[in-house]
Amino acid sequence: MNFQNPEILWLLCVVPLLVAYYVWIGRRRATLTVSTLGRGAMPRTLRYWLRPVPTVLRLVAIILFIIALARPVEEHAESETTVEGVDIVLALDISGSMLAQDFKPNRLEASKSIASEFVADREGDRLSVVAFAGEAFTQCPLTSDRGAVQTSIARLRSGVIDDGTAIGNGLATAINRLRESGAKSKVVVLVTDGVNNSGQISPRMAADIARDLGIKVYTIGVGRRGQAPMPAMDPFGNVVMAMVKVEIDEDLLREVSRITGGKYFRAENIDALEKIYEEIDQMEKSKIEVTDYISYEELYINWLLWGIVLLLAELFIGRVVLHRLP
């Protein structure tokens, strides 16, 4: 409970003075009565015990009136939260080259792990997962169920579709997931470690479509520069590690991001990849608006009514019960 006119409460300081005044008056009347009637013992009737009641009722009524003047109110606070989420598609390369072990345990598993952490922090957003190699497919449609998205990421495997790197097809499939989206902010995060060498759609054509649909594309090239260890089969059918040249078409990825208003990143280790996702997370924040409402319920009427009731009780006891004259 708060008061709209708290300064009025200073009038309560007068109450102790009134108490002292009534005590002084009461003692004076008692002295006059004793001196007039002598020292004989007076019978103490009900009227004797009720004598201070009207004064007490009057003092309490005064206190209640002062509180009513201060306008006590009860605050009711409410808040309304509006979340304007971002629709995000994670397009992950699952080609054979993503098994290179310059990331631990390999590029694909490292990319999946960091992408899953990214999903965990995107509260209020809808997310989708697209996988591509020589072809592209949707692993998870747009959903706000982050657990389902993380499960879809965990199930990604290399070798489930024809090998190759169809960046254009992967991007086009991601764009198709966002085509009907009504979100104001639509984003594709495309992760690859190679050069576009498959598919029917060129990455530049897909980038133009994304730009026309208002979709921003962030591209991430994963893989250290130079050579990287890659599992391979020797002539005897044994799995051996071979050093292969790392080839990432950075110019293409950079152009795709530029066309759509996004940004290109190069991750040469898992720490760099994690920081890239953190940067994207900061750049593509959901818009959250919180509107606070405060309503006030006036309580003075209760204090005022009780004060009036006590004044009426004082008049009844003083005039009727005690037969006092005005």
Give which of 289, 273, 239, 295 is closest to 111, Cα–Cα.
273
User: Is the distance from CB of 126 to CB of 143 less than 8 angstroms?
Assistant: yes
Q: What is the pLDDT of residues 62-95, one digit of tens each?
A: 888 888 888 888 877 776 655 668 999 999 999 9
Please provide the average confidence, as pLDDT, over all residues in the chain: 85
How many of the other CB atoms lie within 10 Å of CB of 271? 10
CA distance 199 to 253: 16
Q: Is the pLDDT of residue 201 over 80?
A: yes
- Per-residue model confidence (pLDDT) at position 324: 52
Please name the helix (run of DSSP H) or strand (run of DSSP E) that holds residue 192, with its range, or none: strand 185-192
Mean pLDDT for 47-57 is 71
Min mean pLDDT across 142-156, 244-258, 285-299 is at 285-299
Min mean pLDDT across 121-125, 300-304, 316-320 is at 316-320
CA distance 148 to 262: 26
Mean pLDDT for 192-220 is 95
Tell me the domains of the chain and their CATH numbers: 2-77+293-321 (no CATH), 86-285 (3.40.50.410)
- Per-residue model confidence (pLDDT) at position 19: 79
Give which of 54, 63, 53, 59 is closest to 20, Cα–Cα.
59
Q: What is the pLDDT of residues 105-149, one digit of tens each?
A: 999 999 999 999 999 999 889 999 999 999 999 999 999 999 999
Confidence band, pLDDT 50/70/90 cuts, at residue 293: low
CA distance 180 to 166: 23
Confidence band, pLDDT 50/70/90 cuts, at residue 326: very low
Q: Is the pLDDT of residue 325 over 50?
A: no
Q: Is the pLDDT of residue 53 over 80?
A: no
Pull the structure tokens for residue 5: 């006119």
Q: Which of 34-48, 140-154, 280-294 has the highest mean pLDDT?
A: 140-154
CA distance 156 to 131: 8
This prediction has a pTM of: 0.65
Mean pLDDT for 145-171 is 96
SS3 for 4? Answer: coil
- Sorted by sequence, the CB contacts under 8 Å of residue 203 that are 6+ apart come out as 167, 168, 171, 196, 252, 256
CA distance 258 to 275: 20
CA distance 84 to 124: 8
